[in-house]
Amino acid sequence: MSYGIKVSKPGKDVSSTTVTDFVLHSDYGTIKFLKWGAGSKTVEASTSTTDTVSFSWSGGKPLVMIYAELTPGSGRWYASPFGSISGEDTYFGSSLDDSYVGNVDFVIKIYNNTASSKTISYYYFVVGETGK
- Give the span between the Cα atoms of 98 and 75, in whole angstroms: 25
Tens digits of per-residue pLDDT, 75-115? 999 988 776 777 778 878 766 667 888 888 889 989 998 99
- Coil, strand or helix: which one is 19? helix
pLDDT of residue 100: 83
What contacts 109, CB < 8 A, 6 or more positions away? 48, 49, 50, 92, 93, 98, 99
